[in-house]
Structure 1
Amino acid sequence: MVALAGLVLMVAALRMRGLLHRSIEETRQKANLTRYLPAQMAGRLAGGGLEALQEGRQQKMAILFIDIRGFTSWCEGREPQDVSRLITEFRTRVELVAGRTGGLIDKYIGDAAMILFEGERAAARALDCAEGLLVEMEAWRQEREATGETGLAAGIGVHWGEVFSGVTGTPARLEYSVFGDTVNTAARLEQLTKTNDTALIASATLLQEAGTEPARGGWTALPAEQLRGRRSGLALFAKAQA
Structure 2
Amino acid sequence: MDRTELARRILERLDEITGRSESVPEERLEETVFRRLDQAGKIVSAIQKYLPKRVTDKILANPEGVKVEGERRQVTVLFGDMSGFTSMSETMDPEQVVEVINKYFDTMVDIAERYGGHIDKFMGDALMVLFGAPVAHEDDPLRACLAAIEMLEAMDRFSVELKMDLAMSIGLNTGEVVALNVGSKGRMEYSVIGDGVNLAARLEKVATARQCVIGENTYRQVKGKIKLKKLKPVMVKGKS
2:74 partner amino acid: K
Q: CA deviation at 1:135?
A: 1.6
Q: Paired residue for 1:168, among 176, 182, 197?
A: 182
Structure with greater strand share of residues: 1
Instruction: Indicate if the aligned counterparts of 1:36 and 1:174 stay in contact, CA closer than 8 A.
Output: no
Residues 111, 32 of structure 1: alpha-carbon distance in 2 compared, 3 angstrom cutoff: closer
Shift of 1:143: 1.4
Q: 2:234 pairs with 219, 225, 231, which one?
A: 225
Q: Where in structure 2 are the equivalents of 1:49-198 lying within 5 Å?
A: 49=63, 52-118=66-132, 119-120=136-137, 121-145=139-163, 150-194=164-208, 198=210
**Given the two structures, how large is their TM-score scaled by the length of structure 1?**
0.74
The structure-2 alpha-carbon separation of the partners of 1:36 and 1:61, relative to structure 1 and needing over 3 Å to count, comes to: same
Change (3 A) 1:83 1:33: closer
Whole-Å separation in 2 of the counterparts to 1:151 and 1:135 = 14
Distance 1:131 1:52 in 2: 37
Per-residue displacement from partner, 1:170-229 (whole Å, max 9, x unpaired)?
A: 3531111111111111111111113xx5511111311222x332xx73321112222111
Structure 1 stretches of 5 or more lacking a match?
1-13, 233-242
Instruction: Name the counterpart of 1:207.
Output: 219
Identity %: 31
Displacement of 1:144 after TM fit? Answer: 1.8
Letter in 2 for 1:212: K
Q: Distance in 2 between matches of 1:32 and 1:72?
A: 29
SS of 1:105's equivalent in the other structure is: strand
Q: Which runs of 4+ in 1 moved over 6 A?
A: none
Q: Return the alpha-carbon distance in structure 2 between the equivalents of residues 36 and 101 of structure 1.
A: 19
Q: 1:83 to 1:40 in 2, by over 3 A?
A: farther
1:42 Cα deviation after fit: 1.3
8 Å CA contact 2:84–2:165 kept in 1: the answer is no
Question: What's the offset of the Cα at 1:138?
Answer: 1.5
